[in-house]
Structure 1
Amino acid sequence: MTDRLRRLPCRLRALGMAVLCAMALAAPPARADAGMAQRVRACTLCHGPEGRATPDGYFPRIAGKPAGYLANQLLNFREGRRSYPPMAHLIEHLTEEYLREMAAHFAALDLPYPPPPVSQAPQAVLERGRALVQHGDTAREIPACVQCHGAALTGVAPAIPGLLGLPRDYLNSQLGAWATGQRRAQAPDCMAAIARRLAPQDVAAVSAWLAAQPVPGHGHPAARLPGAMPLRCGGVEGLPVAAGR
């Protein structure tokens, strides 16, 4: 059964496995020594072995992401701020405590990243993406990605994700989802505000440049930001914010 499902596109695979996966996640361990790695095997059907991601393009790596970020995303799916029915079905009956245990499990995985694919985007597009990521666009009130996601773009503990090591298709789809309201976060939803200021060509440039960058080291998130965040963002309480924001 599992081998047949692995050969299906992951969107169909996720739908077909939804009930089985929910049972696997929610059921008590069969043995007293069964660990979380066994309990979250359902997650790896789409997110790849150990949460490393797969070539499908729309299912991101979850291994090594900050635990607070992963927990927030699981809660966002469960509470309807993010819309993907198979994910919502998998976790709708799981407690917040268990979701945080799952997040902690994947966050603790220290696995190398593969080299990035060679970008097919024109050099001018990549340069535009680099400029937006590193410097933003002050005239349109678009902050630089590095201001929140860290100078190395590997995220910031405990709740800001890295932007490297993600497929271009996934980055495009998530920025589009924020702009259209299909993806939301705890208020104030700073990413939605930023995404709505990006033109389609900006999104294409940013995603192309980010997807083409190697991940430094194992992609460990930074312990802190070098300065204040440019906007207030829900789910990252405790981080300094620029005055007037």
Structure 2
Amino acid sequence: MMKPLRKLLPALSLLLALAAAPSPAAPFEDTIAQRALACTLCHGKEGRAAADGYYPRLAGKPQGYLYKQLLNFRDGRRHYGPMSELIDPLSDDYLRELAGYFAALELPYPPPQRPGLAPAALERARALVLHGDPARQLPACVQCHGQQLSGAQPFIPGLLGLSRDYLNGQLGAWRSGLRRAVAPDCMAQVAKRLSLDEINAVSQWLAAQPPPPGMKPAAAPPEQPLPLECGGLR
């Protein structure tokens, strides 16, 4: 009985060695889609936005807008350490390519969020979004972001399909000066004319609006002159 067993030992050893050997690594695809996976660790699968509400959606935003925001992080006009460090060594051309990848994605938007404010506060927010406040030289959101609030190519983002926490945080950052854009910074002017209560109400009203079916940025900005000069649109 021992002889046959001794004859089998080399074969058994080979089988055990093959089983223990690591499997070949999957080939790395050197594509922008593969490299963009690093962004999805925070911004959610395919750039749909993170569940915590603070990392915004990237998919489907205008390429020019995404590119400008990457430049703002890299050049110090927006501040978030991990983001700035990640893109600091990247070239303008690479950032433009990355922005183009996410801009081309067509993905469903999340369901709207239920607001937690009284009807009167939400009605005031609706009026500010749709009509502004001429007495305070406060333009309506729709004057720049479009009647459907879906944004416009190449630089104006949509305002729907975003979480209230993200909207509230960004408007607050513009109001405090933590977030900036190339001068003249029109969004900083708008945010500083809003009270904190109005920022909260506008954020909640916008987050509660369902995006229209198949929402995409308009092909071009509104034809009429914009109410404020914006350096970020150049």
Whole-angstrom distance in 1 between the partners of 2:38 and 2:138: 38
The alpha carbon displacement at 1:92 in A equals 0.3
Whole-angstrom distance in 1 between the partners of 2:224 and 2:150: 16
Which residue of the partner structure matches residue 11 of structure 2? Answer: none
Residues 160-200 of structure 1: per-residue CA shift (max 9 Å, x gap): 00001111111111111001110000111000011111011
Whether 2:234 is the aligned partner of 1:231: answer no
Corresponding residue to 1:94 among 83, 87, 90: 90
Any gaps of 5 or more consecutive residues in structure 1?
1-29, 238-245
Residues 31 and 187 of structure 1: CA distance in aligned 2, closer, same or farther (over 3 Å): farther
Residues 91-123 of structure 1: per-residue CA shift (max 9 Å, x gap): 000001000000000000011112212222211
The alpha carbon displacement at 1:227 in A equals 2.0
* Contact kept? 1:112, 1:217, Cα under 8 Å: no
* Contact kept? 2:125, 2:205, Cα under 8 Å: yes
Which residue of the partner structure matches residue 194 of structure 1? Answer: 190
Which residue of the partner structure matches residue 31 of structure 2? Answer: 35
Whole-angstrom distance in 2 between the partners of 1:63 and 1:226: 26
Which residue of the partner structure matches residue 104 of structure 1? Answer: 100
Whole-angstrom distance in 2 between the partners of 1:155 and 1:100: 19
The alpha carbon displacement at 1:31 in A equals 6.5
Corresponding residue to 1:156 among 152, 156, 163: 152
Corresponding residue to 2:136 among 140, 147, 150: 140
* Contact kept? 1:76, 1:82, Cα under 8 Å: yes
Corresponding residue to 1:124 among 120, 126, 129: 120
**1:235 alignment partner, SS class:** helix
Runs ≥4 residues deviating over 2 A: 30-34
Let me know the Cα RMSD of the aligned residues: 1.4
**2:42 alignment partner, SS class:** helix
1:60 aligned partner, one-letter code: P
Q: TM-score, normalised by structure 2?
A: 0.86
Whole-angstrom distance in 2 between the partners of 1:103 and 1:170: 20
**2:147 alignment partner, SS class:** coil
Which residue of the partner structure matches residue 217 of structure 1? Answer: 213
Q: TM-score, normalised by structure 1?
A: 0.82
**Max radius of gyration: which structure?**
2
Whole-angstrom distance in 1 between the partners of 2:211 and 2:202: 16
Deviates more, 1:44-53 or 1:33-42: 33-42
Whole-angstrom distance in 1 between the partners of 2:149 and 2:224: 14
The alpha carbon displacement at 1:33 in A equals 4.9
2:216 aligned partner, one-letter code: H
1:160 aligned partner, one-letter code: I
* Contact kept? 2:185, 2:232, Cα under 8 Å: no
**2:154 alignment partner, SS class:** coil
Q: How many residues align?
A: 208
